[in-house]
Structure 1
Amino acid sequence: MPKVSLNVDLGELPGEPEELYSIATVVNVACGGHAGDEATMARAVSLASAAGAILAAHPSYPDREGFGRTSLPIDPAALEASIRDQVALFAEVARRAGARVDAVKPHGALYHDAARNDDIAKAVLGGIVLGFGGAGVAIVGPPAGALRDRTEAAGLPYLREGFADRTYRADGRLAPRSDPDALITDPSAARSQALRLAAAGTFDTLCVHGDTPGAVAIARAVREGLVEAGLLDLREAR
């Protein structure tokens, strides 16, 4: 059965637990759009590298006030430029530390909008390619949609993502964060969901959000469950 990686969104909040870096196999680092600056990026790169985790950029709409969780009306060219600048800065921070960036996962509202809107997907992918100077990286996103179509048409790897700490509706869509039960904060429930998603064989990576209440206990339970089931991809960063 195919294995999944365990990715955690980090570098977003002051005082985030360092233990999350050793639990994750992939660390998605906020690169200035919704959170983060050069200092937090450098810290995240150092902690992720020490833990042997793969590095991923985590760009967003340029929306620090709203933490990137609200759709932002922005011209596609301006969005492409913002994504380019975010990932280029993160790539440079990683380069200075002797590390490499293997993937990019859009954050928050941009993640969902890029799956629904081809113009946004084109701008996001264009910004990523420009920001990395044409170097190939994997793109992380929903199992289907415009971002996946654009990524595969460009010949780049695409990783289908599921969420261990978010609830899904009966039709398979994520419940919006406005729903009272949108977050899974019980570690055992998150572990069960992670095992179910991994066993389905339709996801390449599973996420635990670093800002979910009790994130350390949740991520630990998810990782332990995946390891015990032989479903966690433990390849280290190159």
Structure 2
Amino acid sequence: MNNTIPALGLGTFRLKGDAALDSVRQGLQAGYRLIDTAQIYGNEAEVGQAIADSGVPRRELFLTTKVWTEHLAKDRLADSLKESLRKLRTEQVDLTLIHWPSPGGAVPVAEFMGALADAQDQGLTRLIGVSNFNNALLQQAIDAVGADRIASHQIELHPYLQNRTATGFAKARGIHVTSYMTLAYGKVLGDPVIGEIAAARGATPAQVVLAWAMQSGYAVIPSSTKRVNLDSNLKAATLVLRADEMKRIAGLDRGERLVNPEGLAPKWD
């Protein structure tokens, strides 16, 4: 199995049933090797089926799932992950993330990070990490298991929300960052600056934004149900933006957060 997190993967957020099955099947055919899912997405079984049908050897894939808040307690986390493995038809995932911190701190960070580390020690997951933490919670996670053990912090990150406080905090502690919602639900694709760069480079706006994120050091996990978009997004890995283009995109940050569920989201930095 891969030892590092691939820079470009396939997300499955909001994909259900046949849509999830078809997207992952097509993605694997196109050449994606990182597949990102989660317990709450309700599509782990479809992801598992698509992988089984693909004929792609498991060792060539990097499979990520995320533990939902209902399963964070020490006596529930490992069992929930075993259920995820059953649905995904694999003995081990490559990366397991805590999807959101426990609402209201109902389950202490030290408890669920300890349980996640135990699951790693049991061989249920090769790597562990977190998602949607603020810096104070990430520090608690570091205090619980050590920064070296946290393979990635997955956060909303796109040209309109560049999240520099969170990324700087993680980077200073050697923690890799994965960007989700990199295209901001498509909102950034109509941005004039992105459009100008895309036109000048003979690229699509999506390729420009994904290339910007990857050149910034982040992994990206865009999703699509259309083969043409799946193929096109993959080409972002070969697009190298110039320093002036990166600077123009850096100037688009306006702190526009799109994912902020009440009762679930922590107080953001």
TM-score by length of 2: 0.53
TM superposition shift of 1:7: 2.7
TM superposition shift of 1:227: 3.2
TM superposition shift of 1:139: 1.9
User: Which residue number in structure 2 is paired with residue 101 of structure 1?
Assistant: 93
Q: 1:139 to 1:216 in 2, by over 3 A?
A: farther
Is 1:83 paired with 2:77?
Answer: yes
Is 1:128 paired with 2:116?
Answer: yes
Is 1:227 paired with 2:220?
Answer: no
In 1: Cα distance, 2:211 partner to 2:121 partner: 37
Deviations 1:145-194 (A, max 9, x none): 32465257524142244668x553365489xxxxxx94126493332122
Identity %: 10
TM-score by length of 1: 0.58
Work out which of the two has the higher radius of gyration on C-alpha atoms and give 1 or 2. 2
User: Which residue number in structure 2 is paired with residue 168 of structure 1?
Assistant: 160
Give the stretch that moved more between structures: 143-152 or 83-92.
143-152
Deviations 1:181-219 (A, max 9, x none): 941264933321221122123x2x212145xxx565444
Is 1:55 paired with 2:57?
Answer: no
Structure 2 gaps of 5+ residues are: 167-182, 190-202, 242-269
In 2: Cα distance, 1:132 partner to 1:122 partner: 15
Q: Select the structure with the greater relative contact order (CA < 8 A; seq sep ≥ 6).
A: 1
In 1: Cα distance, 2:232 partner to 2:156 partner: 14
Of 3, 8, 12, which aligns to 2:10? 8
- Bigger proportion of residues as helix: 2
SS at match of 1:190: helix
Task: Compute the RMSD of aligned alpha carbons.
Answer: 4.3
User: Which residue number in structure 2 is paired with residue 66 of structure 1?
Assistant: none
In 1: Cα distance, 2:55 partner to 2:155 partner: 24
1:19-34 pair list within 5 angstroms: 19-22=26-29, 23-31=31-39, 33-34=40-41
How many residues align structurally? 195
Structure 1 gaps of 5+ residues are: 63-73, 175-180, 231-238
Report if aligned partners of 1:118, 1:147 keep a CA contact under 8 Å in 2. no
Report if aligned partners of 1:10, 1:44 keep a CA contact under 8 Å in 2. no
Is 1:150 paired with 2:141?
Answer: yes
